[in-house]
Amino acid sequence: MKSILKYPFFLALDISSPSDAWKFLQEHQLNIGGVKLGPKLILNAGWDFVTKASKIAPVFLDFKFYDIPSVTLSAVKQSFDLGASFVTVHASIGAEALSLIYDFEKEANKTRAFKVLAVSILTSFAEDKQLPHWKDGKIIDKVKCLANLVKQSGLKGFVCSPEDLKYLKPLYPEFFFVTPGIRLNSDLKKIENDDQNRILTPSEALQEGSDALVIGRPVYNNENPSNILKSIILDCKNK
């Protein structure tokens, strides 16, 4: 699955304007591994944008599906039909849904490369910002429980904070780890209006064992995104 990405990172194209997003993707398509598309863009641009973008780079459709098993499975199937190569579901949808989705993933891969990514705990959560209905304990303990559930289903794609990798990589070496929460400078990781808490730089995340980074705002909010993308590529080559 790694081989379909030119470089081990996705550009998170979280831009509201479809025309601006398409222009940015076209301008920088040679310097990305894949493109992550989510609600902020697709609810404005329409589902056709997924199919169109898939002609340029592998598409990671990030809607984090969470519903009853049949509905979640249907959403995953439709994502594949639109041209997505990666799609997210919440790991907490449970064993039944995850197993059904794994069965479809196996069938889909007979046609083309397709990986379902199970999302653990969002990187916006921190130890002091946990949900009130969660059991007491550290976030990493909850992430480990979800990783074990995913493994039992047969799925191997897993989304987590890059900070979690040092705990997870030794336990699940077969997983394809995708890590959002990537910031460019270890001394200035937080950017304006940032809602990410558990974060690392590209080189730090790669050294911890990330298979694919997710990075958006630090790229397209920069005055020179081309230079930023090239520096990320260099980090990937020198990991």
Provide the pLDDT for residue 127: 54
At the topology level of CATH, where does 2-237 sit? TIM Barrel (3.20.20)
Per-residue pLDDT reduced to its tens digit, 71-120: 999 999 999 999 999 999 999 899 999 999 999 999 999 999 999 999 98
Q: Residue for token digits 């046609």?
A: 111
Exposed / middle / buried, residue 218 (Cβ in 10 Å: 0-12, 13-18, 19+): buried
Provide the pLDDT for residue 124: 67
Provide the pLDDT for residue 193: 46
Domain ranges across the chain: 2-237
Provide the pLDDT for residue 99: 97
Using CA atoms, how far apart are residues 154 and 151, in angstroms rounded to an integer? 5
Bridge partners for 65 per DSSP: 89
* pTM (predicted TM-score): 0.89
Q: Please indicate whether residue 37 or residue 129 has the higher confidence score (pLDDT).
A: 37
Q: Which residues of 93-132 are buried (b: 16+ CB within 10 A; e: fewer)?
A: beeebbebbbebbeebeeeeebbbbbbbbbbebeeeebee
Per-residue pLDDT reduced to its tens digit, 149-194: 999 999 999 999 888 999 999 999 999 999 988 877 643 444 444 4
Per-residue pLDDT reduced to its tens digit, 26-70: 999 999 999 999 999 999 999 999 999 999 999 999 999 999 999
Provide the pLDDT for residue 187: 38
Quick one: which of 215, 146, 220 has its CA closest to 181?
215
Q: How confident is the model at residue 137 (pLDDT cuts 50, 70, 90)?
A: low
Quick one: which of 118, 117, 130, 138 has its CA closest to 59?
117
Of 23, 36, 64, 237, which one is the catalytic site residue? 64
Is 138 noted as a catalytic residue in this protein? no
Using CA atoms, how far apart are residues 64 and 61, in angstroms rounded to an integer? 9
Quick one: which of 220, 42, 79 has its CA closest to 157?
79
Provide the pLDDT for residue 121: 73
Q: Please indicate whether residue 231 or residue 37 has the higher confidence score (pLDDT).
A: 37
Does position 199 have pLDDT exceeding 80, yes or no? no
